[in-house]
């Protein structure tokens, strides 16, 4: 199973990527996570990425692709992968195609998560994250038992800068501008399958599997 999950911030890609990873025994590859791991490791690739990150610049596509390539070469990715939120642009998609081709692999499906804009704003602006371990809560949909504290370890809950109401609209605008060409890129290749991700996670999970069956992946 070699699949990509696309969708705007707050669409639930991470939740569904984890579900697929657990069910089918393949890794969820979220580039933000592996980029942070590479920088923390002090590796040569991580140091190169950190030099851009520390200046507040975007990490170049070639370094992002090297990070992905390094992850895909690990043994647990031999049976497949779920790419969560990558690629983000057409040049990254083209680079991913070349990378996979060089490994004798190819994408089987790209699932586009669709959620109405007003629902995304509600989802994102109410999201709070555990400072210690990253558990996610929502003040409307999954509030913590004790306000401001994680149910799992009691750590403080914080709101990421990206999830503050004043930044959510800008994030969605940037996503739409960057990703629209990417959607057409994958649609033209016959890989794109849309998923209505506006329901609860269980129902979205069923829709994801239905899309993967339609794509011939399952």
**Which residues are CB-neighbours of 6 under 8 A, at least 6 positions away?**
13, 85, 110, 111, 112, 113, 179, 182, 183, 186
As given in the structure block, the two tokens for residue 42 are 């002090």
The catalytically annotated residue of 13, 48, 123, 207 is: 13
Is-catalytic flag, 13? yes
d(CA 6, CA 179) in angstroms, rounded, equals: 9
Catalytic, 123? Answer no
**For residue 81, what are its two tokens?**
């992968």
Whether the Cβ atoms of residue 83 and residue 93 lie closer than 8 Å to each other: no
Is residue 171 among the annotated active site residues?
Answer: yes
Catalytic one among 48, 88, 123, 207?
Answer: 88
Question: Tokens representing 80?
Answer: 């497949």
Catalytic residue, from 48, 71, 123, 127: name it.
Answer: 127
Which of the following is catalytic: 79, 160, 164, 213? 160
Exposed, middle or buried: residue 90 (CB in 10 Å: 0-12, 13-18, 19+)? middle
Tokens of 63: 């370094």
88 annotated active-site:
yes
Judge whether 79 counts as a catalytic residue.
Answer: no
Annotated catalytic residues are 13, 88, 127, 160, 171
């Amino acid at each position: 199973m070699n699949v990509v999950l696309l969708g705007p911030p707050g669409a639930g890609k991470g939740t569904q990527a984890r579900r697929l990873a657990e069910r089918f025994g393949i890794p969820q590859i979220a580039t933000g996570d592996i980029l942070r791991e590479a920088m923390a490791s002090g590796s040569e690739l991580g140091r190169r990425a950190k030099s851009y990150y520390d200046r507040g610049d975007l990490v170049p596509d070639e370094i992002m692709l090297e990070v992905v390539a390094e992850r895909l070469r690990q043994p647990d990715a031999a049976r497949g992968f779920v790419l969560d939120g990558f690629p983000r642009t057409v040049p990254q998609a083209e680079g991913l195609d070349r990378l996979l081709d060089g490994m004798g692999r190819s994408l089987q499906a790209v699932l586009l998560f669709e959620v109405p804009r007003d629902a995304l704003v509600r989802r994102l602006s109410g999201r709070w994250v555990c400072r210690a371990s990253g558990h996610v809560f929502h003040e409307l949909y999954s509030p913590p038992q004790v306000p401001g504290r994680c149910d799992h370890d009691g750590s403080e809950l914080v709101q990421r800068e990206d999830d503050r109401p004043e930044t959510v609209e800008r994030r969605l605008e940037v996503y739409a501008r960057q990703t629209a060409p990417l959607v057409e890129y994958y649609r033209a290749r016959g890989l794109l399958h849309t998923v209505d991700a506006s329901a609860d996670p269980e129902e979205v999970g069923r829709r994801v599997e239905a899309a993967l069956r339609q794509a011939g992946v399952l």
